Amino acid sequence: MESQLTILILAAGLGTRMRSTRAKVLHRAGGRALIEHVVNTARELTTPDRISVVVGHQADEVKRLLEPAGVRFVHQEEQKGTGHAVLACRDSAPAEGHVLILYGDCPLIAPSTLRRLYETQAASAAAATLITTELDDPTGYGRVLTNPDGSVSAIVEHRAADSTQLAIRQINSGIYCFVADALWRHLSEIRPDNPAAEYYLTDIVALLNEAGQHVQALPVADPAEVLGINNRVELAEVDRIFRARKVRQVMLDGVTVERPETVTIDADVHIGRDTVIGPFAQLLAGTRIGEQCRVGACSILTQTELGDAVEIGPFTVVADSRIDSGGVVGPFARLRPGNEIAAGARIGNFVELKKTRFGAGSKANHLTYLGDTEVGAGVNIGAGSITCNYDGSRKHATRIGDGAFVGSNSTLVAPVEVGEGAYLAAGSVITDAVPSGALGLGRARQLVKEGWVDRKKGQ
């Protein structure tokens, strides 16, 4: 298939009905930009050098997003319709084989469906095959007209259809597979004879019929596959379908998802068997979760890696961090980017970490901030302890050795180092290094004034 199939993805439009300054194909559903979904699907069918993306609005941003995919780009200076977009590819596309037309705002189409489309076309004498589906309410869609033999004679847009044609429920998806020679020979015959003065690719169906060429339909049973996106309501519906598909798949793969309709899991997230995901959890941006983990309700994990048997308490937010096997984080904890939590460590409620390496078996059970900190193994961080890592212009590091004990309400003013097995007395402000095995004490001596209250009241 790879050597015979060229794929053109039309992605040049702004999408005015989105009411956005961002090009429509850059909007996200299922954790990815719409155009990323379509390109990923195309890459399952042919090699990247045979995939061309037609760009226009915000072309540089679209190119930057898709650059790792290795696809080609064709610039459409003016957006004059789908036929005009395909015409922009004529000089760079192969003149032989088959051409598959996709859309950057139609991300739910399955690779298996497109493979079936190509195989159906390649095995026939037809000049083109188009995907159709039936809708209970086809309002707004182009209707598929057929010849007595069942072949497709024309596509009539909704606003141009008569009452008989409006009763047709079979609609055009806009996804086609053409014999390349037939496409390029007749494409230039399309005329902008419509109120929008645009070149509609749908017109080529009638042109092929007039030339004695055969066009056939390939119906798909699931209308969701060919859903296009024109506004935020339709974007939300496509996102919902992506989420439901992903949640269903992880459950079939051995993951328990509690109240699955409330859970968000991005397409590129991996979850190991026997893990339990609580209600309203969000697992985003390539997060990887090991086996037998527990992710609590309302937690948000972004670009995060969990080992096996990790427990994430409810209402915990973790970004760009790694938590090794047996670690416990939360509830109500926040891990900002750049943390490495070693095996068996515990990060408790109302603890915030940033760029911190936290050693095996160490604990910070509550009310703590650690930033730019390296914590050894077996360390206890008392409640209310913080590292002062910012001096107003630069960040500084704190290092706490293995087995150290940091008393409650301690303040470590970076840069500072606490040695192995050292103790910091509760309430201390530590500004100098504390050697291994030493006690660091940095607080004012307590005064007790006997009888002070009675004297105060007597004034």
Q: Which residues are catalytic?
A: 366
Task: List 100's β-bridge partners, or say none.
Answer: 7, 177
Please report, for residues 216, 305, 378, 402, 424, the alpha-carbon distance to residue 421 in angstroms, rounded to integers and kept in the order given. 78, 30, 9, 6, 10
User: CA–CA separation, 68 vs 98, rounded Å?
Assistant: 25
Angle between helical axes of 59-66 and 34-43 (0-180°, round to 10): 50
The dihedral sign for the CA sequence 7, 13, 14, 17: negative
Upper half-sphere CA count for residue 101 (Cβ side, 13 Å): 28
| Three-state SS at 423 | strand
Distance CA(399)–CA(327), nearest Å, equals 21
- Among the listed residues 172, 160, 13, the one whose alpha carbon sits nearest the alpha carbon of residue 81: 13
How does strand 98-103 pair with strand 170-179? Answer: antiparallel
Helix 203-210 with 180-187: angle, nearest 10 deg = 100
The SS3 of residue 413 is strand
Rounded Cα distance, 345 and 343, in Å: 6
**65: helix, coil or strand?**
helix
Residue 62 burial (CB < 10 Å; 0-12/13-18/19+)? Answer: buried
Q: What is the dihedral of CA 114, 126, 173, 28, to 10 degrees?
A: 30
Whole-angstrom distance, CA of residue 135 vs CA of residue 141: 9
Residue from 162, 163, 126 nearest 147 by CA: 126
Say how far apart CA 419 and CA 400 lie, in whole Å. Answer: 6
